[in-house]
Amino acid sequence: MTSNDDLRHIVDIDKIDKSQAVLLSTLFKRVKTIILESTENSIIGRINSLQTYKDLIIIMDKTISKGIFVFDKSGKFLYKIGDNGQGPGEFVEISDYTLDVKKEKVYVLDNQRQLINVFNLLTGEFAEVIKLKGDYIRSFHLQFIEDCLYTDAYSWKKSEDNFLLREIDIKTGSQINCWMRNFDYNKNSSDLYFTGNGVFYSRNSIRPKFIQLFMDTVISIDQGRIVPYLAIKSKKLLTEKDIENAKGNSIDEKISSFLTIDKIFHIENFIEFGNKVYFEYRQKNMKNFVVYDIDTKKTIVSRRIINDLIYKKHVGQILLPHFCHVDNSGVYGYVHPMEMDKFIESAKRNQLSDNLDKIKIIKSLDSNSNPVIFIYEN
């Protein structure tokens, strides 16, 4: 593990005026709409992960439809990867997937059985299975980069030597390296608690990022090196003592107690686009939105983000953009499936921007339609 001397960026939360809203028109020039085809075989109940490869959009719904669905960038449904079950190419409980773009493969993690099914990305055909080794360690997320496969790590044995990140031998499923002790990086917490889009971000970049629930530092996986990349600084950061003194026995009860105290934790939804970094964090029961310029170091922090590229300027904040992925086309966001009715109603009330495309089609959608995808271009 490289030392914190390599840390490239520090965001000092306490020194920033948080009164101004973030206008998306100051970050992006325009937005493009993708209407996902809704068929009997392609209905998506949640977007737990979205990645792209060439003209493909790959979406995982691990909650409702429990599968991986592949569309093209026009929104046409192409095929589903894998299915529920216990046979070859099937999964009991899907928790994450990652892409090997060089060999055009998809690695799908079944966290219940601790095995990885490998599929052909272009056809969805099953190729092989990798059984993860480790009696006391479970993984729920994975990241492929430069012929290496990384997973998060959760140990059933409490120890100061427990770690957060490991590398897996693709042929055997054995652990060949590990980094980042819970004690040092996650305030000695190894509890299972997942929200947002997982623990890996910037997933299709050459330097993916890794963030756990109580980490203050974003870690970069950089050509096999595990390097601190960006850290938030504040007198209100949640501490190990706060976790120890939290009310309740379960992690859910502890998280609920953190929402009642004025402490900062849980960096999530981290994306990089152009010369900017965007992420969110929790302070009490409020989400805070951060935009950081890596060149000028200028930082914007706000509890309000106004999507004036999708909505008319007088409408204000209605729905969050739900940023989830970046490629050469731009930054991908979506309308949460539970918010589709509200979004369609906004279209029928003529609250959407006149510059937004496909408004007529949006008005024709209903609560059973797939979520709408947006590409924010800059």
Tokens of 377: 């271009």
The answer to whether 98 touches 147, Cβ cutoff 8 Å, is no
Higher pLDDT, 207 or 250: 207
Asked, for residue 264, whether it belongs to a domain, the answer is: yes
pLDDT at 332 over 60: yes
Indicate whether 195 pLDDT > 70.
no
Concatenating the DSSP letter of every residue in 87-140 gives STTEESSEEEEEEETTTTEEEEEETTTTEEEEEETTT--EEEEEEPP-SSEE--
Q: Which residues is 64 bridged to in the sheet?
A: none
Rounded to whole angstroms, the Cα distance separating 52 from 55 reads 7
Q: pLDDT value at position 78?
A: 98
- Domain membership of residue 49 (yes or no) is no
| 46 inside domain | no
Q: How confident is the model at residue 56 (pLDDT cuts 50, 70, 90)?
A: very high
Q: Residue 157's pLDDT is what?
A: 80
How far apart CA 188 and CA 114 sit, in angstroms, is 24
Section 159-186 average pLDDT = 92
pLDDT given at position 265: 94
Residue 22 lies in a domain: yes
Whether 341 maps to a domain, the answer reads: yes
Q: Give 136-145 pLDDT, tens digit per residue.
A: 899 999 999 9
Instruction: Provide the number of structural domains found in the chain.
Output: 1
- Stretch 43-63: mean pLDDT, rounded? 97
Whether 334 is covered by a domain: the verdict is: yes
pLDDT mean across residues, the chain:
93
Average pLDDT for residues 190-204, to the nearest whole number? 78
For the entire predicted model, the pTM comes to: 0.94
Write down the pLDDT at residue 248.
Answer: 81
Is residue 111 assigned to a domain? no
In-domain check, residue 372: yes
Contacts of 2 (CB under 8 A, 6+ apart): 225, 226, 227, 228
Q: List the domain range (segments joined by +) for residue 252.
A: 4-35+132-377
CB-hemisphere CA count at 13 Å for 103? 14
CB atoms within 10 A of CB 179: 19
Contacting residues for 223 by C-beta, under 8 A, at least 6 apart: 146, 207
User: What mean pLDDT is predicted for residues 258-286?
Assistant: 94
Tokens of 59: 């979406």
Whether 48 and 62 have beta carbons less than 8 Å apart is answered as: yes
